Structure 1
Amino acid sequence: MAERKRVLVVGGNGYLGQHLLVTLAGAGGSLPFDLAFTHHRPIPPPELLAAASPAIPFRADLQTGEGFEAIAQSFGQPHVVVNCAAISVPRACEMDPAAAMATNVPSYLVNWLSSLEGCDPLLIHLSTDQVYEGIKSFYKEEDETVPVNMYGKSKVAAEQFITSKCSNFAILRSSIIYGPQTEAPVEKSLPIQWIDKVLASGQEVEFFYDEFRCPIYVKDVVNIIISLIKKWISDGEPMQLCLNVGGPDRVSRDQMAKTIATSRGYDVSLIKPVSASSVNRGVASPADISMDISKLIQLLTIIPVSFEHGVKATLESSEAS
């Protein structure tokens, strides 16, 4: 029998981390993985522990590296590490650049993986569409990275660190990830749920008409990660990949809101289009970082669901919970 692969999810109590863990744990015998995850809180949320059982939790600190050695000692050397941990709110990165760089550039994690003897684990690292400058549509992976804010700069620095230090990696430049709430609700505002809430109030709301993204449904991101793990196991060769991970639709915030309003039956006239330049958010924001995902589709034969379909699934999940 082939050795069971050990998968470690770094930042397992975050939004994507929880969805990934619960999917991996729920797959039962169909995915031959032993699971562990890191968390930064004193204790992991009990709802997550129950939903992700038998995944083993470890407290670890990306900024200091504290806790990683204990993982190798009691869980074993991981074959696959998925790094979902980040300070991902652009304004928070702008306010504390040192913390953004210390967290978002996983130097301690990479150095720990490099120190493991006799293995070359696959590192799947979540990056962002905000590495792009935002002055055109449908960026390709080989386009120059010219980030306009500290969040994007920290993620470019992370990509450069990983590509210089690792021989087995997949960097995923993700757009806005949306979908159902997690088992242990996350503190940050979820985009579809937030828009739904403000539109449900019946008040006029302003949304940007000139800022474009390719939002991606969280279950598609999970499927992409699992497909990459399976591909690496099947091929048996180190990866050196960078992939745009977005949905198939280039949409503005205004279009996102209108899609939700139409799905819910809200009054679309309450949505007031405004220019992103009319609001000072305390951080520069790229105008158009829509992405070409043809490389993703060709490599993994995964076509992410449309924004409209993902919105309907998200809203239906909210009603059921």
Structure 2
Amino acid sequence: MAEARKRVLVVGGSGYLGQHLLQGFSRGAGSERYALAFTHHRPSPPAELVDAVSPVLPFRVDLRTGDGFDAISTAFGQPDVVVNCAALSVPRTCEMDPAAAMSINLPSSLVYWLSSFKNNNSLLIHLSTDQVYEGVRSFYKEDDEALPVNMYGKTKIAAEKHIIANCSNYAILRSSIIYGPQTISPVTKSLPIQWIDSALKQGQEVEFFHDEFRCPVYVKDVVNVIIALSKKWISDGKQMQLLLNVGGPNRVSRFQMAETVARIRGYNHSLIKSVSASSVNRGVISPADISMDISILIRVLGINPCSFEDGVRSTLEISDRS
């Protein structure tokens, strides 16, 4: 008798990373095939996504109340792996409504649901953020003190602490800006590389910060990290308590990001205007330098994320074909 497929639940599966992740898991073959399900908060799941990764079970879930998790227990069962991609991730929105941000970003209903299974042994992979760091120096390590300067970062560090206190099997991934191609069912939020490309293509002069640094990570590298962690848990059966920085290898400013797009496309570099982040009031404090050291990620999983230039090149090539 064939071994039952391992069950993977993607919470927030209709979002940007969630859709790419479902695609990644659906491409498994043979012994690596997975039974897939995802949660969404829309009135109905995106049909293009369901068709593309079929078979997959969509479930409408309210993360604030936990409504909908019981339906997953009944129709799908206990997942072997749960990936939590769901978040209110726009810093200014979190600043304007901190209660809503905390109710969504602190996954108490998800953790409570997982604890309801007699075999409380699912691996929870939770997406956190580089914005848990204060931003006063370069290349933060995982054991550096987390001192977030805005509400988004505060909700995400609260989530990390909740998971560490209440789960015995987890991997927390502090991700930088995730960029890459558009999703199967297009997301409405602005994608950074596509936005830069569109503005420069139209010949617009655009201002970019020269003094705000990140380690943007290509979406397919994030997918590879999550699938590698899932396989490690499924094959080894050893509980994890991991906290990993997940960024790209390059520390770049917004200005340098735009320059990279212009160089690849052949746009006029004079369109890119360098300004200080302090010159703009965005309604939220933004950390200046939250670049991350990813040496533990490379050592634990053997994954070397692609360079920013290579990721941008791949993103634009895929965009041109679509």
The TM-score bracket by the shorter chain reads over 0.9
Task: Verify the 8 A CA contact 2:28 2:34 in the aligned structure 1.
Answer: no
1:98-138, Cα deviation, whole Å (9 max, x unpaired): 00000000000000001111241000000000000000000
Q: How many residues align?
A: 321
Partner of 2:189: 188
Q: Distance in 2 between matches of 1:242 and 1:264?
A: 37
1:174-227, Cα deviation, whole Å (9 max, x unpaired): 000000000000010000000111111112111000000000000000000000
Task: Verify the 8 A CA contact 1:127 1:173 in the aligned structure 2.
Answer: yes
1:241-297, Cα deviation, whole Å (9 max, x unpaired): 000000000000000000000000000111111000000000000000000000000
Q: How does 1:122-137 map to 2 (within 5 A)?
A: 122-137=123-138
Q: What TM-score does the superposition give when structure 1 sets the normalisation length?
A: 0.99
Partner of 1:59: 60
What is the letter of the counterpart of residue 183 of structure 1? I
* SS at structure 1 position matched to 2:126: strand
Question: Is 1:288 matched up with 2:289?
Answer: yes
Q: Distance in 2 between matches of 1:239 and 1:32?
A: 22
Q: Distance in 2 between matches of 1:30 and 1:74?
A: 23
Q: What TM-score does the superposition give when structure 2 sets the normalisation length?
A: 0.98
Q: Distance in 2 between matches of 1:2 and 1:277?
A: 57
1:143-177, Cα deviation, whole Å (9 max, x unpaired): 00000000000000000000000000000000000
Partner of 2:49: 48
Partner of 2:117: 116
| Higher mean C-alpha displacement, 154-163 vs 18-27 | 18-27
Shift of 1:30: 5.1
* SS at structure 2 position matched to 1:135: coil
* SS at structure 2 position matched to 1:187: coil
Task: Verify the 8 A CA contact 1:79 1:119 in the aligned structure 2.
Answer: no
* SS at structure 2 position matched to 1:127: strand
What is the letter of the counterpart of residue 15 of structure 2? G
* SS at structure 2 position matched to 1:123: strand
Shift of 1:52: 1.4
Partner of 1:94: 95
Partner of 1:311: 312
Partner of 1:11: 12
CA RMSD of aligned residues (A): 0.8
Partner of 2:268: 267
- Note the residue ranges of structure 1 that are not aligned, 5 or more in a row: none
Partner of 2:209: 208
Task: Verify the 8 A CA contact 1:208 1:275 in the aligned structure 2.
Answer: yes
Partner of 1:172: 173
Shift of 1:2: 4.1
Q: Distance in 2 between matches of 1:214 and 1:149?
A: 19
What is the letter of the counterpart of residue 80 of structure 1? V
Q: Distance in 1 between matches of 2:201 and 2:193?
A: 12
Partner of 1:77: 78
Q: Distance in 1 between matches of 2:33 and 2:183?
A: 24
Q: Distance in 1 between matches of 2:289 and 2:280?
A: 16
Partner of 2:278: 277
* SS at structure 2 position matched to 1:194: helix
Q: Distance in 1 between matches of 2:46 and 2:235?
A: 34
Partner of 2:141: 140
* SS at structure 1 position matched to 2:134: coil
Partner of 1:161: 162
Q: Distance in 1 between matches of 2:23 and 2:231?
A: 17
Task: Verify the 8 A CA contact 2:25 2:33 in the aligned structure 1.
Answer: no
Task: Verify the 8 A CA contact 1:12 1:39 in the aligned structure 2.
Answer: yes
Shift of 1:26: 2.5
